[in-house]
Copies of this chain bind each other. A is one copy, B any other.
Amino acid sequence: MATVRLLSDEELSPEAQAVFADIRATRQSDFVNNFWRALAHDPATLKRTWESVKEVMGPGVLDPKVKEMIYIAVSVAHGCGYCIHSHTASARAKGMTDAEHRELLAIIGMASETNRLVTALGAPIDDVYDIG
């Protein structure tokens, strides 16, 4: 199922072709996953999104695999099956071990439980936590 057709390489506009070329060069792989093939109908959003992802997920102060694990955590909490599958693959490709994956999932589960408990209790934020 999808709300737009996935575009093959042959159907891309020149602007989308340029983005796909950069995805391939950056990842050093010929494979371009379905998200980008669906987004390619909108070359402007494709380009802005890819460049933002490349900037945010590129070299920074955090370990690349940790960055992917944070991405997974957000994706699980948002219930995005596609994102969970693709970023779990990315995290593994960047070195996430099975033990790290297990620990990640345990934290996500635990956070979800306490998130909802504190929300149900309506506990006010302690003053010591305020930085603003």
Contacts and interface: CB of A to CB of B under 8 A. Distances in A.
Interface of A: 1-6, 31, 33-35, 37-39, 41-42, 44-45, 48-49, 52-53, 55-57, 60-62, 66-67, 69-89, 97-126, 128-132
Contacts of A61: 97, 99-100, 103
Given A106-B42, A132-B6, A119 B79 contact: yes
Contact of A78 (B81, B84, B112): B112
B67 A103 contact: yes
Given A1-B81, A112-B113, A76 B132 contact: no
Copies of this chain: 6
A121 B105 contact: yes
